[in-house]
A and B are shown apart, each in its own frame.
Chain A
Amino acid sequence: MSKRTLRRRTFLKGAAAGAAAGAFAGGFAAGFPWAPAIAEQAPIKVGLLTVLTGPLAQGGLQMKQGLSLFFEEKNYKIAGRKVDLIIGDTGGNPAGTKAKAQELIERDKIDVMCGPLAAFEMLAISDYVIEHKMPTLALAGAENVTQRKPNPYFLRVSATSSQAMHPMADYARKEMGLKKVITISEDFAFGYEQIGGFQQVFEDEGGRVLKKLWTPIVTPDYTPFLAQIEGAGLDGVVQGFAGSNPIRFMQQYANYGLKKKYPVVGGETAGDDALLKSFGDDAIGLVSACPYSYAYPSESNKRFVAGMVKMTGYLPGFYAAALYMDGMVIEDALKKTGGKTDNPDEFMKALRAVSVKESPRGPFHFDHFGNVVGNIFIRKVEKKDGKLANPILKTYHNVSQFWTYPEAKFLAQPVYSRDWPPLKS
């Protein structure tokens, strides 16, 4: 060790001491009597579990856009606290979801988590979230998380899988006069729950489901299934496709001349507004039910849509809207707790107590399972001024996850599955 090193070390030590003293003095001067206020100014860490790579990336990106837009409008400050938005890319698979959730919760120490996107992702982290008491505002529609196996740290601003299909069935039966339908959807929980919900209400109102077709999630060519769409008295087709599958399905449906024969009725993902830019004319006439519509005339929605169009150049869909509203709910809850998030149970209580009057989907609140109760819109794809539009035909108000069924009766029946409700053959 040369003299120079020693001197440098001494200098560094001295500088460090000086800096510390200065900081201490500065802190002393700036905040000592107001120390509690400094603690409260710590930013609120909002984690977002979404999918930015892989086949589900399209939806995941919209989630990120919706939530970012909300915070940008608020200049990343809500209820007096700065917002630190930390985004985790799950890759669209359960293992990745678990890994990212662990990073966000244990390493980044987030206060609240938005996402994940898919039901199978949510199921992978449900127990973990409970164990770590992490308030989670998920998009995933897996029904039992707010029904028969409720998760106390769960909040859902979007909808259960069947929540929009119940009023869709009512509309199809009463207003469209459909009597006999064939259903087709992907062969997984989201498909089963949507179709199950439709079937229950449709048949309770006197309709009948003739056939239930299930396609693999990845089906480049729907021909083998489209060829089975025929039957005595058939007057409609019900589809619950998600992601980008509705685009391909509607195109192939029209190619086989089925569009002229049977109207198509769909769920929240089948006619999502974000697909309007990708749909061809084959989608014209598609009637679908969704908890969100870009056409809903609230001030909040006009602002949201304008912001999204400015950010992306396209109309927003359900995913972006749900995450934007997640932001609204977090802000409202934070105001209720006076900006505090140190007690997760208190924060959770505040989150579930949120009741919003003015939002992009209209008024909404949560039931005691943490699932949203709000508007469901029935829309129809049309062509207006040379572009595709999806105007609202009818609004169902205050729709809960149980539709008009008494909660106890609904919970006593099995969760919607491939074989439940059974076909009445």
Chain B
Amino acid sequence: MNLWLILAINSITLGGLLFLLSAGFSLIFGLMRIPNLTHGSFFMLGAYLGVSFLHANFGFWLSAILGALSMAAIGGVIERLLLRRLAGQELAQVLVTLGLSFMIADFCLMVWGGDPIPIETPDNLAGSVPILSVVFPSYRLAVVAIAVVIAALLWLMIDRTRLGAMIRAGVDDPQMARMVGIRVSRLFSVIFCLGAGLAGFAGFMGGPILSVYPGLDGDMLPLALIVVILGGTGSLLGALVGSFVVGFLYNFGQAVFPELAYVILFLPMLIVLVIRPQGLFGRIAS
């Protein structure tokens, strides 16, 4: 009984963290049709940058925000200088983002070293909360709360603002959007910065749970890919649902079939790809 309860709660908390990571990926893929393979590196670099801010005594939450803003800036530079020149050449964009991920990984190894850096849970969230018959770390619950808040804010932006309307138009049909006078290229920059910033924020938020270490990018990227493919690209609801689905698959799959851990994760994604290529809530085929 305790086992299932812990797994259920943790599925939700892992889902929350995955949402923060994947929302940006989904938007970037949906709008720009770029499978941004640097996304895992954004997660990791954001975490490392946040760590440096933390060690410079900026405090936990401020460091998280500064890390996110730094990643947004870096994302913007990458988009403007590299990806924009390759507009329309999808293979080249994939290769560039892949190459960048290797470069960022080596850069992080050079600057922050090979030892994993644990991030201390902020004091007011350091304890555990009793839920029914089990004890659950407060910080993980806080991550879910933050993910929900950010999901709400993103939804508000996309559904209720003009910017959001332009993004939705761009996702549905970029050519028509251009014809109607929407500066799709500028949207690309905004979305890429937003995606990178969110990923960086997620990286730092995940720090007290996962710690920050070389290889973090490679560990998180496949999960983001599964979330987005399962949930559907370009759809925030898809990213949300996909994150919780993957959270559940990860926790229950690992507990019940540990030898088949990766099969459990990837099999549903494969099934969805075959039956419904655009994902559960997606608008375009991946």
Interface residues of A (CB under 8 A from B): 53-55, 57-58, 61, 187, 213-216, 218-221, 223-228, 230, 244, 247-248, 251-252, 255-257, 277-278, 280
Contacts and interface: CB of A to CB of B under 8 A. Distances in A.
A305 B167 CA distance: 59
A60 to B, nearest CB: 8
B210 to A, nearest CB: 5
B82 interface: no
The residue in A213, A221, A226 that gathers the most chain B C-beta atoms within 10 A of its C-beta is: A221
A221 B10 CA distance: 9
B123 interface: no
A61 B261 CA distance: 31
B261 A227 contact: no
Contact of B251 (A54, A224, A247, A256): A224
Interface stretch (B47-55, B113-121, B153-161, B273-281): B113-121
B250 interface: yes
Interface of B: 2-3, 6-7, 10, 14, 106, 109, 113-118, 120, 128, 135-137, 139-140, 209-211, 213-216, 219-220, 250-255, 258-259, 261-262
A225 B211 contact: no
B128 A257 contact: yes
A55 B215 contact: yes
Given A53-B106, A224-B10, A256-B6, A278 B215 contact: no
A309 B211 CA distance: 25
Contacts of B106: 53
B116 A248 contact: yes
B14 A225 contact: no
A221 B259 contact: no
B259 A228 contact: no
Contacts of A223: 6-7, 10, 14, 251
A226 B6 CA distance: 9
Given A221-B250, A247-B118, A255 B215 contact: no
B114 A58 contact: yes
Nearest to A61: B114
Contact of A251 (B7, B14, B118): B118
26 contacts: A54-B215, A55-B214, A57-B109, A57-B114, A57-B214, A58-B114, A58-B116, A58-B214, A61-B114, A213-B258, A215-B258, A221-B210, A223-B251, A224-B250, A224-B258, A225-B254, A226-B6, A227-B10, A230-B2, A247-B118, A248-B116, A248-B211, A252-B209, A256-B135, A257-B128, A280-B120
B227 to A, nearest CB: 14
A191 to B, nearest CB: 12
A220 B128 contact: no
Nearest to B117: A278
Contacts of A55: 213-215
Contacts of A216: 254, 258, 261-262
A63 B262 CA distance: 32
B222 to A, nearest CB: 10
B259 to A, nearest CB: 7
B210 A220 contact: yes
A348 B70 CA distance: 56
A213 B251 CA distance: 14
Contacts of B251: 221, 223-224
A166 B10 CA distance: 35
A58 B120 CA distance: 21
A31 to B, nearest CB: 46
A228 B252 CA distance: 11
Task: Identify the 9 closest CB pairs spanning chains A and B, nearest first.
Answer: A58-B114, A55-B215, A224-B254, A244-B116, A57-B114, A255-B137, A224-B255, A257-B135, A227-B6
Contact of A227 (B116, B140, B210, B255): B255
A273 B58 CA distance: 30
A221 B6 contact: no
Contacts of A230: 2-3
A196 B142 CA distance: 39
A388 B118 CA distance: 15
Given A55-B214, A278-B115, 12 more contacts: A53-B109, A57-B214, A214-B258, A219-B254, A220-B209, A220-B210, A220-B216, A230-B3, A248-B210, A252-B209, A256-B135, A280-B120
Contacts of B254: 215-216, 219, 224-225
A220 B120 CA distance: 16
A247 B211 contact: yes
A61 B135 CA distance: 39
A227 B2 CA distance: 7
B219 A220 contact: yes
B118 A255 contact: no
Contacts of B114: 57-58, 61
